[in-house]
Structure 1
Amino acid sequence: MSALAEWVRAGRTADVVGLLDGMTDAERRAHVPELKALRKELRAEPWSAGSRRAYPALHAAGAACQTGAAGVAAWLAAMDMRWSQASPGLVIHLLGDRAPEWLADVTHRLAERPESANVSYELMAGLVRLSGCPVPTTDAYVRGWVSHIGSTWQRGDTVLDRLRRDPHLSELVAALFVTDDIGSRLEWMPAEGPNSWTEALARLTTEGMLDRGATIDACVARLLRGGGSSDLRLFLRLLKTLDLTRDEERQRTADWLALASDAVSVVASHAQSVLGALALDGGLSPRQLAEMSGAVLFRTEKKLVRAQLVLLGKVLTREASAAEELLPAAALAFGHGDSDVQERALKLVERHAGKVGSRDVRAELATAVEQLIPTLRARATRTLGAAPVAAEPAVYEEVLPPAPERWRLAPPPESAAELAEEVGAWLASGGDVAAFERTLDGLMRHAHRDRDSLVEALGPVVGRLWWATADPQHVRWNDHFSDRPHGLDLVLATLLGRISVDALHVEGRRGRPTSECVHSALSRAFYARIRDVAHRIHTDPLPFLLSTPTWNTGLLDPDELVTRLDTYRQLGARPSATDFAQALLRVGRQDRGSAAAAAERAAKLGTAEGTWLARWLTADGPALPRDRRRTSGARILVEFGELPELQEDFPEEFRPLGRPVSVFREHWHCYHWDPAVRQHWLALLPERRELVAARILRDLSTVAVEDTRGEAAVLPLLAEGDGEAGEAVHLCLAYGLGARYPEDRLAAVDALLVLAARGQLDTARLGAGLGQLVRRGAVKPLRLAESARTAAATGANATIWGMLRHTLPVLLADLATDGTAVAARGLGELIGVVAECAERSGARGELPHLAQAAARRGSSRLVAQARRLQGTLTVEVAA
């Protein structure tokens, strides 16, 4: 090893530089191979003390010994040395004797590297000065420049001072406007003062160091281009700081029109204010103002729409001659989704309609009236001469999505290799009930048929799991496999011999836990079957599982179960008690004809299981226990009484399913935190979803009461299930509709529409429950209004009206008694949604306490929407 390599390894950077300074290019090139070998050696242990000591010297020596620009740039930006580099000054010293063209090539190659390469800005800037090349304007260089300028507060300097002295100010500032996400880096700097980028750039523009016109154009162009919120905030603030003159604003009228139409709200608001000032100063023609209005009035932001209507009113007051161009533009707001906006637009048109002489314009206004809500349309017939409201409203047709159809599970793969692939897919991303049950049945079938081939096929799939390679002494039941949602792990670990028969036997004999939570009954029954399946794989594999569902919801066809029992009888197989118990809970009994026919076949099998199945299929059921509502803080929960049929003859692990559900006697905080397991609980009792809903009701309530996320994902599955949709199911849905996060509300809307499409939605029960939850503070009116509006937008206006017509009286009752409302905030929005649904569905009639709310003084949104709803429900159709 040469002296250079030894000194590099020792981290003697100063000696390395002295040695390199005395070498020729050829001598330096001769050391490249051993430096590469040393780099490869250090790469094996990059964070060792020796590597950290050697890397700065290696970084400098390798750059000095390379003679090609590409090789030097690649060495300096190498990933393995990015955290232990030589100082920029040292590298510049070693490269200082190279030709300027060569240095410029290295500089631009380094600047083209991504910012994540961690190339020092000081190094690149030093090479620019040394080579005299044009300054790079790449993303990495501009970001490095911004960070360099912004760190001046540590040196007693200011951003303004450093920018003034920068020889490449114009080029780099121009590049600043086209660099994505630069605002996130600059927003950490002060918004005001000499260290504020926006004030510094504005000051330099005033001083003439930056071209004012070019800077303004760059700001506007960046706002037109769009981008992240931090970028838009930065450049909008700079544009405001530049304080444009009226002439400068007028020159960019087309840009302001484009921004008002399509930019994000805060930028559009600024453009609107600029255009408004121009319009009032006569700098905007009526045609341009009409064009602007046509775009702004279609925006969803009510603030922008209302401001535009105010602007139109001011211009019309000053220029009567503009009415024929501006009023049709104002009438575009007649189709806005907010009734307040419609009313403002109608008032504006009514106020200035007399200034219109053209019959064509009046006809255009009369046609636009058709977009107004019924109460405003009736008024417009009198004031604008529009066509009267039809004597009979059009017949409304409710649009609901088609009820989801259940589908049959496919049989498990025939080969062990195919099954292993499905197991790998399950372990990688999980799956639904159908995938889990199909895979579980396949594991049992192949274990019964040829366990050795199955184990061989599974080896590569499970080899990455920690328990597959861990010391068997460390693979303990309670560490990983007890009460976990991923039950396949236990079965796979059993197949591969990582869980002993003794461990399974001991866990199977354990008594009921001393600390029960509301989910324990579901969890114990689910895992008892998984544990029993694993035990039978070890001791006496079954030919197949009796309880594998026929349908994706978890339901098992009764005739299919009889056929499976008959096959067991012919093979002399001994059923698993828990597997058969699960099969009984899944077998369909709602179709009494099919159940009776299957019972007759089962009775003829002559086996104990056949007799039990025949008795089960002919019994009354599936029954639900007596229930009652209970309150807990802001929540409304459900308690269930005892269900004896789930305790008689069933294995011990299944009997808690028939025991009472108590709000106050059972623990609510437990380890059943993974929402993925709830789909399996629903498949445990596919015809008794009400029992499952009661046990997960408190979990669902947290999305509204505690603003948790993701708990409502189970709601569509709950809606697709079978059995009665009672108090618990509807309360689960109510909490979901009031969830904090949009994805949870959307899941609740999906569930609501599914229940409605299946004819299982009790709108009166749901609406009254929502009223109580809103009144108790568990559900916020604004969130409920968003959910209801989303559901109504699909075409379910009558459904939402039928639901909320039972919610509003509960909330309006307080207004009728003492003049206050517990949930007044957002109540106006909720009434507005009800009014929309009533208008679209043609609802008529009376709503308790609505008249009193509509008769209140003032023009608040609550009162305005109450009057709108009252007018809709009692509107007299014009002759």
Structure 2
Amino acid sequence: MTLTWEMLQDRALRGDPAGLLTLLIRAPEQERLAIAGDVEAGIRKSDRDAWWRSESAPGYANPNPGYALAVIGCMPTAARAAALLTRGNMRTWATIGAPRLTEVARFRQIPWQGELGRRIAERLPARDADGNLWPVISALLQAGDAEPPITENVVRAWHAHLVSVRTHRRDRSAPPPLSMRLRDDPHRDVLLPGLFEFAGLGADMSGGSWNETTGSWSNEPRLPGIIAYLIGEGILERKTYVDLTVDRLLRGGKPNELRPFALLHDALEPTVDELSSHALDYARLLPEAPGAVATLAQKALRTVDDAGRLELETLLDTSGPTLVRKEKTLVKAQLTWLERVARREPARAGEVLETVAAAFGHPALDVQERALVLIGKQIAALDPGTVARLADASAVLAGDLPARAAGLFGVAAPVTGDEVPELPPAAPPAAMPPPITTAAELAEELVVLVHERSAIHWERVLAGLVTLYATEGSATLRAALQPVLDRYPGHFAESSWNRTEPLLHLGVAIHSVIDPGRSGGLWGRLVTSVRTAWQDGRRGGHDSALSATPDGVLGLRVAELATQLTRTMVPLIMATPTHVTGSVDPSVLLERLRRAEAEGWQPWPVDFEQALLRLPRRTDPGVVAGATALTSPAGRQFAAWLTRGGLPDPVTRRFEQTPDTGRRDHWARDVRRVVAAMSPARDGGLRLERQLLTLAPAAHPEAYPDTFHESGDVLTMVLPHHREAAAAWVLPELAAMADQEQRAGAEVLPLLAECSGPVGPALAYGVAYGLGARHQENRIAAGDAFLTLAGRPEPFAAAVGAALTDLGADGVLKLSRVVPALTDVHRAGASVALWEVLAAALPGLLPAAPRGLPDLLELSTQVARAVRADSRIAGLAEIAARDGSSRLVKEARRLQTVLGH
């Protein structure tokens, strides 16, 4: 029986590797080589996803392991074999295991096993999805007496297999300890140094692993300790790994990437000689490395200095930048060290203390004060020139320290400038991008919308579709848009998960133009949903294709477009914004309505209501006069809207959601959340109005809300001049950034700030929650919103301060997160508004004394001095008058001094 590819494929598909192996072994070498081309062609044609489809197909096995046997058994060269085994449709082939593959190779006596191992290793992906791949590569390399290529991906795969507890032994016995696995690994000496050489591998080493000795999971990286143990046993060379460790720390990286090497450094316990040989390296690490590594370097340098082997110039050069690091513990330790050196070497005390003065530029007042006190202890021994230079350096001191420094150095106290720092007015919102003018441009924008569903892209696509249908017709749009629909069928064709997606409704609208009748059933449901929304003022509900939340207004508009586009021949959309906030210029809407009257058509009703909701609060009298001359129903409604002042502000109220004691999860039982309830200020009004302005929160907080994570800009564009209403809807998600440590959601805060309208409890609490968010990027977004609000005329600071008091007094917001965010606001120039926030927040926070309050008082001192504040803070004097020297009392006294009370 002659061997054929079909025979091998049949056994592979049936999951019979033993039978396939028998066929290969029994066939002559000539037959195996003769079908190499057929094997190659068959594998190239095979189903790319067969490896996972087999899991849900009875009687159908993953063919990749069998195909791998066929490759090893038939290919004439390593190059052709590696090309097949590394194809995308050959994932998981290595589950066949190394013994069977090497058995075929040994039987054929092929000389290129080592070359095959190297070729496969060179093509390893960055993150190997097949955990069985490295054992096969290793077996091939050993069989061919070849060394592995030293690349990041190879070292990563080797390390991942090394620390894994999985074993392929048939007896299922426990794997040997990690120390034994590393000691006996055939590739250890070649690949272990690669863990130090490739920067991306530090994070791989920092994870925990299973400890076979204790039978438990260890959160600590185990490899550093094992490397140190093998060095102690003489298996690894100590000098090599000390040098590698210090060199890896020098090359830097994120803290988690450097942590394993810092642990190894500690485990090695370098001698004084070893530390001295790397003194300049530690001097580079101290001012620049992450905190834990800098602390390690500081300890090493102090050991060298205590041994009398550290040059003073090296210490002074590295101390200057170290003394302005944010880690106060590290900085204070450096100051203590410098104080000892100054006393030890009185002849050079002036140089040392001038270096100490670098700490005057530290952002923390207690660090500045410590440096000043240290200098004051030794100032009597300094020459006049040194004292003068120290006095000059003290010009950067903040809070109450400038006056103290003036007394110490015998100079005049500095006088703050006449101008209070103030932000310039915020720039007006940018204009919308120009309209789409060609079908090709519309197709491009549609593709962009699929990938980035921003409100601006939505508005351009809707306006472009309506205008181009009126001017270019169906044929032109069909030629441009049909390829886009074909390319993204999952977005524009109905499925169980996208029935309320505006993108699906847009697909219906496009099909109604280029292929009428294709979406008849869905088109009919959209007609019903639009009719219900218009007649009852209600979106959402059972079987509705529309969302009930405000961002659902976009879905309603798209649905209206889909049902009206080919029926009414309206040539333009009324609600297309003129600015990126969603605002519509009244003069532009006036011209649109004049055109409608001149051409004899009426705007679509939902589109027109959205246009009215986007009008600003104040309108030029000339536009109002022009509106009163309109005669169409829409024109008269426009004139009445302008005359009556537009949409009244809704009523928003603080609403406290209490912990749900009936829930098992820890979060729901312990956290209170403040959100906003909202109701319209009037009965009647627009059909969209009541649902947009009515919000009744539940009694208990919602866990991990995410309604607006991807549509914050769509939400703010609905009511661009009533940002308090939009903030009320999105507030639960902003709160979750702080009390549930969610990452998404803060992008909406700067958008709300760029809109207009009074700031009420919803936006104030939203900003407060953002300032106390878990993730830094969210606090930055909240800071950006704060800066924008500070440049606008609407008052907001007192409301934000009250929110910070409410949420900070009992620890709902962590002041340790809030203070750095407010510090950035101060440095950006919004000090006047920030002082209003602090002056409103401190009276309520002082009695509660939450954790982090001293830091907030320290910031308040800096801000108060910058704006020359003279207000009285209730409760501050009482704390400042307490006995003792706790940091809270010291910072209260400092602020009291700056305020002049």
* Interval containing the TM-score (normalised by the shorter chain): 0.7 to 0.9
Contact 1:599–1:613 (Cα < 8 Å) also in 2: no
- What is the aligned counterpart of 2:827 among 772, 786, 793? 793
1:160 aligned onto 2:179: yes
User: 1:135 and 1:665 mapped to 2: Cα distance?
Assistant: 62
Residue 178 in structure 1 maps to residue 193 in structure 2: no
* 1:88 corresponds to: 98
Residue 591 of structure 2 is aligned with which of 553, 558, 563? 563
**Residues 823-845 of structure 1 deviation map (CA, whole Å, 9 limit, x = unaligned):** 52111111121112122333334
Q: The residue matched to 1:177 in structure 2 has which SS?
A: helix
- For 2:273 and 2:772, locate their aligned partners in 1 and report how far apart those are by CA, in whole Å: 51
Residues 308 and 101 (structure 1), Cα distance of their counterparts in 2 relative to 1, 3 Å cut: farther
Shift of residue 337 of structure 1? 0.7
The one-letter amino acid of 1:539's match is R
Contact 2:704 2:742 (C-alpha < 8 Å) held by counterparts: no
**Structure 1 Cα separation of the partners of residues 858 and 716 of structure 2:** 36
Deviation at 1:758, TM superposition (A): 2.2
Match of 2:628 in 1: 603
Deviation of 1:436 (Å): 2.3
The 1:369/1:162 distance shift into structure 2, 3 A limit, reads same
What do residues 52-76 of structure 1 show as CA deviations (whole Å, max 9, x unaligned)?
5764454234334433342343345
Equivalent pair of 2:36/2:76 in contact (CA under 8 Å):
no
* 258, 279, 285: which one aligns with 2:305: 279
Q: 2:68 aligns with which of 59, 62, 66?
A: 59
Seen in structure 2, the aligned counterparts of structure 1 residues 95 and 402 have a Cα distance that, compared at 3 Å, is farther
Question: How far did residue 874 of structure 1 move?
Answer: 1.8
Map 1:677-756 onto structure 2 (within 5 A). 677-756=711-790
Q: Give ranges in structure 2 of 5+ residues lacking alignment.
A: 168-172, 216-221, 659-671
Residue 377 in structure 1 maps to residue 417 in structure 2: no
For residue 70 of structure 1, the aligned residue among 79, 84, 98 is 79
- 1:24-66 CA-partner distances (Å, limit 9, x unpaired): 8766533311222332354467335898576445423433443
Of 751-760 and 95-104, more deviation after overlay is shown by 95-104
1:474-553 to structure 2, matched below 5 A, reads 480-482=498-500, 488-489=506-507, 491-492=509-510, 494-495=512-513, 496=515, 497=517, 498-499=519-520, 502-510=524-532, 511=536, 520=548, 522=550, 527-553=555-581
**Aligned mates of 2:3, 2:110 — CA distance in 1:** 30
1:289 is paired with a residue whose SS is helix
SS of the equivalent of 2:577 reads coil
Query: What does residue 668 of structure 2 align with?
Result: none
SS at match of 1:712: coil
8 Å contact kept, 2:596–2:602: yes
Deviation, structure 1 residue 661: 5.7
- Write out per-residue CA displacement over residues 410-461 of structure 1, whole angstroms, 9 at most, x where no aligned residue: 55323333223222221221123x4322322222223344245334432222
Three-state SS of the structure 1 residue aligned to 2:840 is: coil
Indicate how the Cα distance of structure 1 residues 455 and 101 shifts in structure 2: closer, same or farther if over 3 A, else same.
closer
Aligned mates of 1:515, 1:71 — CA distance in 2: 59
State the one-letter code of the partner of 1:504: L
Distance 1:149 1:626 in 2: 63
Give the C-alpha shift of residue 617 in structure 1. 2.3
- Does residue 1:108 correspond to 2:118, yes or no? yes
What one-letter code is carried by the residue in structure 1 that aligns with 2:83?
Answer: A
Instruction: Say which SS state the counterpart of residue 807 (structure 1) adopts.
Output: helix
Which residue matches 1:387? 411
Equivalent residue, structure 2, for 1:367: 392
Contact 1:164 1:204 in 2 (8 A): yes
Asked if the contact 2:838–2:860 (Cα under 8 Å) also holds between the matched residues in 1, the reply is: yes
**How big is the shift at 1:398?**
2.2
CA deviations over 1:277-327 (Å, ceiling 9, x no partner): 222232323333223322321322112111111222333444444523322
Amino acid at match of 1:830: L
Match of 1:805 in 2: 839
Do the aligned partners of residues 692 and 201 (structure 1) sit closer, same or farther apart at CA in structure 2, a change above 3 Å counting? closer
CA drift of 1:342 comes to 1.0
Query: 2:609 is matched by which residue type in structure 1?
Result: A
Measured after TM superposition, the shift of residue 211 of structure 1 is 2.1
Aligned twin of 1:39: 43
Q: Which amino acid aligns with 1:285?
A: E
Which whole-Å CA distance do the structure 1 matches of 2:887 and 2:837 have between them? Answer: 21
The 1:347–1:58 alpha-carbon spacing in structure 2 relative to 1, beyond 3 Å, is same
Higher relative contact order (CA 8 A, sep 6+): 1
Return the offset for 1:94. 4.4
Q: Which amino acid aligns with 1:181?
A: L
Q: 1: CA distance between counterparts of 2:227 and 2:596?
A: 84
Structure 1 residue ranges without an equivalent (≥5): 815-820
Counterpart in the other structure of 1:818: none
State whether residues 549 and 556 of structure 1, in contact with CA within 8 Å, keep that contact through their aligned partners in structure 2.
yes
Cα drift, residue 339 of structure 1: 0.8
Q: What whole-Å deviation, never above 9, does each CA across 1:787-822 have from its counterpart, x for those lacking one?
A: 21121121222221122112112222x2xxxxxx2x
Code of the residue aligned with 1:643 in structure 2: it is A
Change (3 A) 1:413 1:133: closer
Q: Is the 8 A contact 2:152 2:201 kept in 1?
A: no
Amino acid paired to 2:98: P
TM-aligned CA deviation for residue 267 of structure 1: 1.6
In the other structure, the counterpart of 1:338 is 364
1:296 to 322, 347, 350: 322
Deviations 1:378-428 (A, max 9, x none): 222333x253213x3222342525523234445532333322322222122
| TM superposition shift of 1:264 | 1.8
User: Where does residue 446 of structure 1 map in the other structure?
Assistant: 468
Among candidates 286, 289, 306, match of residue 263 of structure 1? 289
What is the SS of the residue equivalent to 1:722?
A: coil
The aligned counterpart of 2:170 is none
1:643 aligns with 2:681: yes
SS of corresponding position for 1:686: coil
Q: 1:756: how far off?
A: 1.8
1:649-708 superposed Cα distances (whole Å, 9 cap, x missing partner): x4x4445557x6656799989998134444344333333334444444455444344444
Q: Is the 8 A contact 1:377 1:389 kept in 2?
A: yes
SS of the aligned residue for 2:93 comes to coil
Deviation at 1:21, TM superposition (A): 6.3
CA RMSD of aligned residues (A): 3.9
Alpha-carbon distance between aligned partners in 2 of 1:584 and 1:677, rounded to the nearest angstrom: 21
Under a length normalisation based on structure 1, what TM-score does the superposition of the two structures give? 0.86
Whether 1:403 and 2:426 are equivalent positions in the alignment is: yes
Matched with 1:2 is: 2
CA distance in 1, matches of 2:747, 2:678: 24
Aligned runs of 1:755-770 on 2, under 5 Å?
Answer: 755-770=789-804
Amino acid at match of 1:372: L
- How far the C-alpha of 1:329 sits from its partner, in A, is 1.7
After TM superposition, the score normalised by the length of structure 2 is 0.84
Q: How many residues align?
A: 850
Identity %: 31
CA contact (8 A) 1:181 1:230 kept: no
Q: Partner letter of residue 673 of structure 1?
A: T
Match of 2:201, SS?
A: coil
On the 8 A contact 1:194/1:200 being kept in 2, the answer is no
**Residue type of the alignment partner of 2:681:** L
Q: Secondary structure at the match of 2:193?
A: helix
Q: 1:402 to 1:30 in 2, by over 3 A?
A: farther
The residue type paired with residue 716 of structure 1 is: P
Counterpart of 1:746, as a letter, is I
Q: Does 2:610 correspond to 1:582?
A: yes
